[in-house]
Amino acid sequence: MRTLKKDLRVAGLTMIIVGMLSATAVVGAQKPRKSPQGAKRYDLYIKQGQKTFLLPQTGLTFKSALVLGSDQSGLYGIPSPPKTTLDLKPIEIVLFDPETAGATVRLTKLAHIATAPAHSFDLQATKIGPAIFPQVYHVKYDASLPINLWCVETDIPLQITPMAGKPGWFRAVPDQQLEAGVFAITLARVDGPRIYAGDRHFYPFVLASAPEPLNPPAKKPAAPHPTPPCP
């Protein structure tokens, strides 16, 4: 009899322990995963002639404009121009990317967006008309929504080639001459109104002409012409 009771106690403890382990496994499985693009970091370089610059990675801000259920549509961007400034010269992007062979790298030009109409963030397959738009999104169809971010304006095509003698390294060169402005290198699409998809990062920089010196050196007066000798 005592043996039977002992066996029942052991079986009961075993079931409790198994139940606790199963519950722990379920809780662990429910933890949200980090965005793969946000967790992955690349070393990106820009070469200008003999100079090489390592670009710092910057986290993007997401400005939510419309909410429908669990989806938020809005824009990714940065609140102010980047601090990294390069001379207005031809650039060459150098990156180590053995997984995609540079297929995901994108060069984009940024523009400041102060406001945007509410209807531009309606990303449903069937667009909501002006009449019922306020009932669905609780904002007027043509309402001017504040954004105040530097966002992707255009993509600039790149010519990507492997670097000789350096496995996994690739060179990306713009196929057009760049003008002064704010740019960013991205490894995932962050352009245009889109559904929030977690943290995103990119590598922004400014191309600018060299500033004029504050106090330019005074020009030396021209030397007087020597008096010609008498004939």
Please state the domain extents for the chain. Answer: 40-208
Confidence at 84, pLDDT banded by 50, 70, 90: very high
107 close to 174: Cβ distance less than 8 angstroms = yes
Query: In a 3-state reduction of DSSP, which class is residue 130?
Result: coil
Which token pair is 160? Answer: 């990507």
Segment 90-119 shows an average pLDDT of: 95
Reported as a single tens digit per residue, the pLDDT across 29-63 is 222 223 334 334 568 999 999 999 999 999 999 99
Q: Rounded to whole angstroms, how far apart are CA atoms 165 and 124? A: 48
Say if strands 44-48 and 92-96 run parallel, antiparallel, or are unpaired. Answer: antiparallel
pTM of the entire structure? Answer: 0.72
State residue 200's pLDDT score.
Answer: 93
Query: In angstroms, how far apart are the furthest CA atoms of the chain?
Result: 145
- Please, which residues bridge with residue 76 across strands? 62
Confidence at 209, pLDDT banded by 50, 70, 90: confident
